[in-house]
Chain A
Amino acid sequence: MSAPSLTSYIVKRPWLKRWMTPLAQWYTDAAGYRRLGLKFDDLIPEESENVQKAIKRLPAKEAYDRVFRIRRAFQCSISHTLLPANEQTKPSEDVEYLSPIIREIEKEAKERVDLDNLVVRK
């Protein structure tokens, strides 16, 4: 989940952010997942304990929608088509729905490790 990222470096510098935003938008759009009706969080590799746990913690409706989007994208991929424009994911819909939960779970895991390695000084 945590690939090296410059995001926080850029976001902290408004001038750099202003500069990078159009570039980022162009890049995300060019990545093409939105044309298959996916959201960015659908692309997070599922094969990890934390992500599995996060998927289980999704509200029922979001979990259903996620499966629907993935199956629809799969179908598109098989038939070598793109979704009609009105069904493609709009940039406004492409919001984080899974990442916050993953971050929370990672925080829990980190806390556990920290507490397990705690040294008590009295």
Chain B
Amino acid sequence: MLSQSTLSRNAPRALSVGRRAMASAANPAFQYDVSDAAGVKVATRDVAGPTGTLALVAKAGSRYQPFPGFSDALEKFAFKSTLKRSALRITREVELLGGEISSTHSRENLVLRAKFLSNDLPYFTELLAEVASQTKYPDHELNEVVSKLLKFQQQAVYSNPENVAVDAAHGIAFHRGLGSPITPSETSPYEKYVSADALAEFAQDAYAKSNVSLVASGPNSADLSKWVGQFFKDLPTGSSSSQYKLQPTQATKYFGGEQRIPSKGGNAVVIAFPGSSAFGTAGYKAEASVLAALLGGESTIKWTPGFSLLSQATQGFSQLRVNTQNLAYSDAGLFTVTLSGQADQIGAASKNVVDALKKAAAGEVASEEIKKATALAKFRALESVQTLETGLEATGSGLVHGNKPYQIGEIAQALENVSEEQVKAAANSFLSGKATLVSVGDVFQLPYAEDLGLTV
């Protein structure tokens, strides 16, 4: 048990830690050095250790795909047969070396990732280059492997009502481009567009030198640029066909609106507003992430609801999950409050969301809470850069989108400078502007935007 006096002695120290953390956050080990090797942008972070991670980030996520399903199929074609060796051989070789290879895609990026023992850097650099430039894309692999994996992916994604709701929210908020579904839905006729030849042409453009960046954490930067220079010089320079090229980047526009999707798979409601774009872009608003932390919903500490407005407001609901996020992209962002669980509780809690926003807009939130929210937002931003899973993609994405790479000190500074007024203004703009509301599940019970007092 902590005594009252220990708490009171430590509380001021807890508050003053912020300044000291800044000094150590400038630790150069977490900064990426950007260089250029064989025309490919390379960001490295020297972390002495027995293992390393290498990620190839291509600007070929669902936002840039020319037809539905292309990013998914290209992702699934990663590490399949190449001109030099078969998919099976790649798998067995990686198993023997003791590495890990994976591929994922997000709305903006396609990421090929390899984790390995430091000694195997040349092998995995070559492998990534080979996948990017020499994959065969045979018809039978598409039919026998890739399209089946794609079906499983669809089932996995669309069986979760939260995913359906967030995806639909993007669709209504941004229409095409950023709004196109991250994985085509099971009922959409995407098969007629996807063919092996089309994918091969798409890959020429997706893995073009100007469209990819390499992010490494661990390996020595001199070694890395040597191997990248050797293996990545054969990367394609772009596709000539106009039909299967990447979609040109169009400035994202926010629309907003309401959509109701009946489903038996569970209930979810997403209330979304135009949020902040990624750090280092023109549309970056630090206050959006502070407001996201302030509204919150999920506690960061076990066995306590936490300080956030929504977790306080929804304490009475046991069958409900609330979570607030600012999903940042290269030129836009979506501020989402996601509620999932029992339909009646979602209905009641979604009113609480709007009430909490109104409270924040009216400035009725104690400045203590905003300080806590700022600290949490800072922690999340810095942690996401430091963690490999998210940090590699964020860094690579910054490079291929021509923004400046994440710099830890600057993010921390930007978040610390957020004032209460800015948070209030952000909440106000959400309430006055057009909102996005998606209800998935038992739509008989789920609310309309009208009921919540949102304009759509």
Are A and B subunits of one complex?
A: yes
A interface with B by C-beta (< 8 Å): 56-57, 59, 108, 111-112, 115, 118, 120
In the complex formed, the residue of B with least CB distance to A101 is B140
Are B92 and A118 interface neighbours, CB within 8 A?
yes
Residue of A57, A111, A115 near B139 (CB, 8 A) is A57
Are B88 and A115 interface neighbours, CB within 8 A?
yes
Instruction: Tell me whether chain B's interface is mostly helix, strand or loop, or mixed.
Output: helix
Are B88 and A111 interface neighbours, CB within 8 A?
yes
In whole angstroms, what is the CA distance A59 to B143 when docked? 11
In whole angstroms, what is the CA distance A56 to B139 when docked? 11
Does B304 interact with chain A (Cβ within 8 Å)?
Answer: no
Residues from chain A with Cβ under 8 Å of B88 in the complex: 108, 111-112, 115
Residues from chain B with Cβ under 8 Å of A115 in the complex: 88-89, 92
Are B96 and A120 interface neighbours, CB within 8 A?
yes
Does B249 interact with chain A (Cβ within 8 Å)?
Answer: no
Does B86 interact with chain A (Cβ within 8 Å)?
Answer: yes
Given known A108-B86, A111-B86, contact A57–B92 (CB-CB < 8 A): no
Residue of B86, B89, B96, B140 near A57 (CB, 8 A) is B140
- 16 inter-chain pairs at a CB distance below 8 angstroms, sorted by A residue, are A56-B140, A57-B139, A57-B140, A57-B143, A59-B139, A108-B86, A108-B88, A111-B86, A111-B88, A111-B89, A112-B88, A115-B88, A115-B89, A115-B92, A118-B92, A120-B96
- Chain A nearest CB from B72 CB (Å) reads 22
Residues from chain B with Cβ under 8 Å of A108 in the complex: 86, 88
Determine the interface band of chain B, counting residues with CB < 8 A from chain A.
under 10
In the complex formed, the residue of B with least CB distance to A116 is B92
Residues from chain A with Cβ under 8 Å of B92 in the complex: 115, 118
14 additional A-B pairs beyond A108-B86, A115-B88, beta carbons within 8 Å, are A56-B140, A57-B139, A57-B140, A57-B143, A59-B139, A108-B88, A111-B86, A111-B88, A111-B89, A112-B88, A115-B89, A115-B92, A118-B92, A120-B96
In whole angstroms, what is the CA distance A118 to B96 when docked? 11
Task: Give the top 5 A-B pairs by smallest Cβ distance, nearest first.
Answer: A57-B140, A115-B92, A112-B88, A111-B86, A120-B96
In whole angstroms, what is the CA distance A47 to B92 when docked? 30
In whole angstroms, what is the CA distance A4 to B122 when docked? 44
Residues from chain A with Cβ under 8 Å of B89 in the complex: 111, 115
- Chain A nearest CB from B211 CB (Å) reads 31
For B75-98 the 0/1 string (1 means CB < 8 A from A) is 000000000001011001000100
In whole angstroms, what is the CA distance A76 to B417 when docked? 88
- Chain A nearest CB from B84 CB (Å) reads 13
- Chain B nearest CB from A111 CB (Å) reads 6
In whole angstroms, what is the CA distance A59 to B140 when docked? 9
In whole angstroms, what is the CA distance A115 to B92 when docked? 8
For B46-90 the 0/1 string (1 means CB < 8 A from A) is 000000000000000000000000000000000000000010110
- Chain B nearest CB from A110 CB (Å) reads 11
- Chain A nearest CB from B83 CB (Å) reads 14
Residues from chain A with Cβ under 8 Å of B143 in the complex: 57
Residues from chain A with Cβ under 8 Å of B86 in the complex: 108, 111
Residues from chain B with Cβ under 8 Å of A59 in the complex: 139
